[in-house]
Amino acid sequence: MKIEELGFVQNYIRITHDAWLKGWHERNGGNFSYRIAEDEVVELKGLVNEDAQSQPIGVTVPNLANEYFLVTGSGKYLRNVIISPEENIGIAKIDEKGENYKVVWGLINGAKPTSEFPSHLMSHSIKKEVTGGKNRVILHSHTTNLIALTFVLPLDNIVFTRELWEMATECPVVFPSGVGIVPWMVPGGAAIAKATSELMKEYDVVLWAHHGTFVSGETLDLAFGLMDTAEKSAEILVKVLSMGGKKQTITADNFRQLGKAFNVNLPEKFLK
Ligand code: 2HA
Ligand code: ZN
């Protein structure tokens, strides 16, 4: 058995390719990480190199100690993952302090995990804590329409959430906790990682103004589906604004009815 043939790796590769086909990953844009489940880690036995050299993460994530992550490579094109997994993705193991990682499989020829690894790991750390270990996936995509909206709407969590919810009835059910916004920041470092993870305490969708979107989900499918739903809603909003704006919409009371019918809590702060 090769690592590329394991079920969860196959699923990750397929979804990475789907994300490319969506138009979210030009050049080396975007990145994707999955905290490998315990029963899947068992499948890695004998297939990984536990003697690989340690590297600092750049942030400290103690609750991710000894966890294994499937992750895309720095500078790698997501469209190439399906053609050559070992070159473009890898498995990184976190050390017992949550300070260093080592690449135990893949990312051959000296490649490294994504430049956004600090943002991924700090968000994983928060999500592991607040979901009791359920959330395992972080996806970062350069979603055209969500990015476009960060030039036009105020960079405000409440405004963005409400506008996106109004564009499709399913949205509040798919992201009931709403959308958080990080103002423009330099990508790739500890500062934007901290800002993102703070918002991840509350939100599953976090926009980086004029850059892209981070989502978190329990499974690869749920994270992909969440990105797809939020970006589709943004596409509708761009069309509506281009056609001269809303003439009618879903009201606050409609949302309250929806929340009841689908048994989801929609915070009142978004329904003013
Ligand atoms: O991997 O998307 O944010 C390239 C990026 C950096
Ligand atoms: Zn990016």
Domains of the chain, residue spans: 3-270
Q: What ranges make up the beta strands (E) of 21-148?
A: 31-35, 54-56, 68-72, 89-94, 100-106, 137-141
Would you say the CB of residue 150 lies under 6 angstroms from ligand 1? no
Residue 207: enclosing H or E segment and its boundaries?
strand 205-208
pLDDT (0 to 100) of residue 125: 98
Residue 95 has a pLDDT of: 98
pLDDT digits (tens, 9 = 90+) for 53-62: 999 999 999 9
Query: Which residues, listed in sequence order, are joined to residue 73 by a DSSP beta bridge?
Result: 113
Spatial separation of the C-alpha atoms in residues 105 and 98, rounded to whole Å: 19
- Through-space distance between the first and last CA atoms of the chain, rounded to whole angstroms: 55
Please give the pLDDT value at position 79: 98
Active-site annotation, residues: 116
Gap between the Cα atoms of 120 and 193, Å rounded: 7
Binding site membership of 228 for ligand 1 (Cβ less than 6 Å): no
Sheet with 179-182, side-by-side order of all strands? 54-56, 100-106, 89-94, 68-72, 31-35, 137-141, 212-217, 205-208, 179-182
Instruction: Look at the domain 3-270 and name its fold.
Output: L-fuculose-1-phosphate Aldolase (3.40.225)
Regarding pTM above 0.85, the answer is yes
100-106/212-217 β-pairing: unpaired
Cα 33 from chain centroid? 8
Whether 30 lines ligand 1, by a CB cut-off of 6 Å, is yes
pLDDT score for 233? 99
Ligand 2 center–CA 31 separation, angstroms: 7
Q: How far apart are CA 259 and CA 255, in angstroms?
A: 6
Note whether 252 and 270 are within 8 A (CB).
no
Ligand 1 atom 4 nearest Cα? 29
State the ligand closest to the CA atom of 112.
1
What is the distance in A from the centroid of ligand 1 to the CA of 71? 13
Mutate to test the pocket of ligand 1, among 20, 24, 25, 28 (most ligand atoms within 8 A of CB): 28
Task: State the pLDDT at residue 254.
Answer: 98
The stretches in the chain having pLDDT less than 50 are: none
- What's the CA-to-centroid distance between 115 and ligand 1, angstroms? 7
Q: Ligand 1: which of 88, 114, 186 to mutate, judged by most atoms within 8 Å of the beta carbon?
A: 114
Alpha-carbon torsion, ordered 236, 240, 243, 244, to 10 deg: -160
How far, in Å, from the CA of 104 to the mean position of ligand 2? 25
Eight-state DSSP code of residue 182: E
188-230 confidence digits (pLDDT tens): 999 999 999 999 999 999 999 999 999 999 999 999 999 999 9
